[in-house]
Chains A and B, each alone.
Chain A
Amino acid sequence: NAGVTQTPKFQVLKTGQSMTLQCAQDMNHEYMSWYRQDPGMGLRLIHYSVGAGITDQGEVPNGYNVSRSTTEDFPLRLLSAAPSQTSVYFCASRRLVAATGELFFGEGSRLTVL
């Protein structure tokens, strides 16, 4: 079982460049989400989706774009990278059940913006 797969694992960008972080899950989970993890800040929710064609903003959505065309994939786009977006990004998914769904995480994508 692959679970949640994120690519790339590492990426270095220059300020102003754009890129897409890929996330795929093979568990048929309706819910998918993106978090960023920064030292001393814990995990903060960027965007989430409760199904194909449905996305919504989390706590820190500015500078990021998402779409959900299939159940399996939930890419995160950085439109114009800034040094403040240097972080480790985690994709996570779960079943859309009432309150007790455990989140399954990918291994993370470490992004550095110069």
Chain B
Amino acid sequence: SQQGEEDPQALSIQEGENATMNCSYKTSINNLQWYRQNSGRGLVHLILIRSNEREKHSGRLRVTLDTSKKSSSLLITASRAADTASYFCATPQGFTGAGSYQLTFGKGTKLSVIP
């Protein structure tokens, strides 16, 4: 069953604006990952945040994690038309110690950045 749920399902913004996407999950995790999918392509890993981290940055990406609320957010600052894509959060399920866990994905947020 799916663990993460992204919100909103779709988001349309002007180029230069910031885009914020949220992810809620159900059970305790030790990390959360975000992926991007361009139309007709495979998913690409963006960033991983561990459960003992509250915030992480990578270029124009800022990810937060609130384990008490079981939620995460992905902020893309100064968006560009090339950021148009679907964004997914993913969480590990199963025993993570030996690496045999499975990544479960939410349904994604479809971001459109209008030039």
Contacts and interface: CB of A to CB of B under 8 A. Distances in A.
A41 B98 CA distance: 29
B48 interface: yes
B42 A95 contact: no
Nearest to A41: B107
Nearest to A30: B99
In this complex, the interface size class of chain B, counting residues with CB under 8 Å from chain A, is 20 to 34
Given A105-B44, A108-B41, A108-B42, A99 B104 contact: no
Interface in B83-115: 88, 90, 92, 96-108
Given A43-B88, A59-B1, A99-B31, A31 B99 contact: yes
Contacts of B42: 4, 90, 92, 105-108
A50 B1 contact: no
Contacts of B30: 99
Contacts of B98: 96, 98
B33 interface: yes
A1 interface: no
B28 interface: no
B48 A103 contact: no
Given A42-B88, A43-B88, A102 B104 contact: no
Given A42-B106, A103-B43, 5 more contacts: A42-B2, A58-B102, A98-B96, A99-B30, A99-B97
